[in-house]
């Protein structure tokens, strides 16, 4: 059998097949040849629970194959591609969390974009949504540069970490409830491994709902009835140890929202400022 064809990474020039196998040398790839693979929701819970730190969680979540529909979709996109990126390899795997492991602010989004993180291998990287959120984080002093291009561009987040509620690019940008629930095991463990977090910025109603579900799952006190999402909405969640965590809502940084003016730079900056202020609370 012939080897899969390779294409050069747009920054490093190294050749990769699409999708990119683990331990192939892709910039920032957290997985190794022995990283265990989750093939069911039960596997996700078991493997996530066994991760002692974020590095192990990033590795395990980046090779997850628990949701057959999402695996097929993300890999098909990696082969078919968008014409503008036809000369590039596509990551074609789940996008793990990215940013400061000791962050006090967690940014929760919906899912990787088919031709953004599914192509570059890093959340909010390589598309207009990423341009918006990273530029805003840079204005807030949390990102080292105002743009995000690829996983080897040197971007560093300080005091903030980004994570997707669903780590695979979904068809129509719409994960199924079962896919959301399966991926929730990674999100829950991510939060458990970040005890310094004091604020969560939820991008969109999906991220808001996914985080509330995760918080209930590990015993946090969540107001009832469930707090409604809205831009600028805030609700205080209480961890079992009594520490409050402020959940702040923002409209998602999708092109539909930013191009129509539903979400402006000022609105996004305001939501981030509220989250940063809450994150700095002792």
186-196 tens-digit pLDDT: 999 999 999 99
Residue 43 domain-assigned (yes or no): no
DSSP 3-state of 161: strand
Strand 105-109 with 160-164, pairing: parallel
Residue 160: in which H helix or E strand, if any?
strand 160-164
Residue 13 domain-assigned (yes or no): no
Note the pLDDT of residue 189: 95
Q: Cα–Cα–Cα angle for 34, 166, 52, nearest 5°?
A: 40
Calculate the average pLDDT of the chain: 96
Q: Nearest CA to 123 among 161, 68, 69?
A: 161
Residue 210 domain-assigned (yes or no): yes
Percent of the chain clearing pLDDT 70 (strictly above): 99
Q: Is the pLDDT of residue 2 over 70?
A: no
Domain range for 119? 95-279
Q: Is the pLDDT of residue 3 over 90?
A: no
Other CB atoms closer than 10 Å to residue 45's CB: what's the count? 18
Note the pLDDT of residue 1: 43
Q: Is the pLDDT of residue 4 over 80?
A: no
Q: Domain with 234 in it: what CATH number?
A: 3.40.470.10
Residue 196 domain-assigned (yes or no): yes
Note the pLDDT of residue 178: 96
Residue 181, judged by CB atoms within 10 A of its CB (0-12, 13-18, 19+), counts as middle
Percent of the chain clearing pLDDT 90 (strictly above): 95
Task: Give the mean model confidence (pLDDT) for residues 239-246.
Answer: 96
Residue 10 domain-assigned (yes or no): no
Q: What is the longest distance spanned by two Cα atoms in the chain?
A: 59
Is the Cβ–Cβ distance between 240 and 220 less than 8 Å?
Answer: yes
Residue 60 domain-assigned (yes or no): no
Identify the band that residue 140 occupies on the pLDDT scale cut at 50, 70 and 90: very high
Task: Give the mean model confidence (pLDDT) for residues 249-269.
Answer: 97
Within 115-247, residue ranges assigned H as helices are: 117-120, 128-139, 177-192, 204-217
Residue 40 domain-assigned (yes or no): no
Q: Is the pLDDT of residue 37 over 60?
A: yes
Q: Which residues contact 264 (CB under 8 A, 6 or more apart)?
A: 258
Give the chain's domain count.
1
Listed as own residue / partner, the contacts of 1-10 with beta carbons closer than 8 Å and 24 or more positions apart are 6/89, 7/87, 7/88, 7/89, 8/87, 8/88, 8/89, 9/88, 9/89, 9/150, 9/152, 10/88, 10/150
């Amino acid at each position: 059998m012939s080897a899969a064809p390779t294409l050069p990474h747009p920054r490093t020039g190294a050749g990769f097949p699409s999708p990119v196998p683990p331990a192939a040398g892709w910039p920032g790839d957290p997985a190794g040849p022995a990283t265990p693979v989750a093939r069911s929701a039960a596997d996700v819970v078991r493997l996530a629970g066994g991760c002692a730190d974020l590095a192990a969680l990033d590795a395990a979540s980046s090779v997850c194959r628990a949701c057959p529909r999402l695996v097929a979709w993300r890999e098909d996109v990696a082969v078919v591609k968008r014409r503008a990126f036809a000369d590039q390899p596509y990551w074609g795997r789940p996008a793990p969390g990215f940013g400061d492991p000791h962050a006090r602010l967690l940014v929760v989004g919906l899912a990787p974009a088919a031709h953004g993180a599914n192509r570059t291998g890093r959340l909010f990287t390589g598309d207009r949504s990423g341009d918006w959120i990273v530029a805003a984080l840079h204005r807030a002093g949390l990102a080292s540069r105002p743009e995000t291009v690829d996983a080897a561009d040197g971007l560093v987040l300080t005091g903030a970490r980004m994570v997707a509620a669903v780590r695979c690019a979904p068809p129509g940008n719409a994960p199924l409830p079962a896919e959301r629930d399966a991926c929730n095991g990674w999100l829950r463990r991510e939060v458990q491994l970040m005890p310094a977090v004091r604020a969560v910025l939820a991008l969109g109603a999906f991220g808001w709902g996914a985080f509330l579900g995760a918080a209930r799952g590990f015993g946090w006190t969540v107001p009832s009835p469930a707090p409604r999402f809205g831009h600028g909405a805030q609700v205080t969640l209480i961890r079992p140890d009594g520490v409050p965590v402020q959940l702040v809502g923002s409209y998602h940084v999708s092109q539909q929202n930013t191009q129509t003016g539903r979400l402006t730079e000022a609105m996004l900056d305001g939501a981030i400022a509220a989250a940063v202020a809450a994150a700095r609370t002792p």
